[in-house]
Structure 1
Amino acid sequence: MIVVVGQFRFPAERMDDARPVMRKVIEATRAEQGCVQYNYGEDVLDPGLIRVSELWQSRKQLDAHMQMPHMAQWQRDRTALGLSEREIMVYDADAGVPL
């Protein structure tokens, strides 16, 4: 399994514009082969901060995801919305166990 975690920021005043754009990329990504989970969550205490969590079956599928047309559009859209402070990390993991 491949785990992706991180965060990025939009200006708080752009969040109403950002939500539908994020929804579009989330829906398209969740339909991709190999995507187990793909989530963006707004930080309750820090307006404009978005937490990222993803789970992929393989690195090959994550790499294919990064080449998808909706990801190219997402890169353009997020730049236009003022994305900053992007810090995303990729980890190899086992299948995990319930906590």
Structure 2
Amino acid sequence: MLIVAGSLVAEPGGREPFLNAVQPMVAATLEESGCHEYAFTPDPNDDNRVLLYELWDDQTALDGHFASAHMADWQETRKGLAVTSASIKKYIISSVEDLG
């Protein structure tokens, strides 16, 4: 399994437009094979920050996401948004244990 997690920072007033613009890409991604979770959420402690969380079966599924038409469309859309920085990392998970 792979987890992709991170954050993006928007210019003041840019977080809501970002979250609205990303929704079509989120909806399409959640339909992809190998995608279990895909979410952009507002950081409750920072009005300009967006948190990202993704859960994928494997690298093949993630590669398919990066090659998708909706990801290409999103990359073009993102250019017009007021994102000032991003920090996103991929974590390779070797085991998973249920805590609940």
Structure 2, unpaired ranges of 5+ = none
Displacement of 1:20 after TM fit?
2.1
C-alpha distance in 2 between matches for 1:15 and 1:91: 25
Alignment of 1:10-89 (within 5 A): 10-89=10-89
Asked if the contact 2:15–2:49 (Cα under 8 Å) also holds between the matched residues in 1, the reply is no
Letter in 2 for 1:67: A
Aligned-residue Cα RMSD (Å) equals: 1.3
Once the two structures are superposed, residues 44-89 of structure 1 have per-residue CA deviations (whole angstroms, 9 ceiling, x without a partner) of 1111211111100010110110011111111121220122211111
Question: 1:13 Cα deviation (Å)?
Answer: 1.1
TM-score by length of 2: 0.89
SS of match in other structure, 1:7: strand
CA deviation after TM superposition for structure 1 residue 95, in Å: 4.3
Question: Secondary structure of the equivalent of 1:13?
Answer: coil
Mean Cα deviation higher: 59-68 or 10-19: 10-19
Structure 1: unaligned runs, 5 residues or longer: none
Residue 65 to residue 9, structure 1, CA distance change in 2 (3 Å): same
TM-score, normalised on structure 1? 0.90
Query: Residue type of the partner of 2:44?
Result: V
One-letter code aligned to 1:43: D
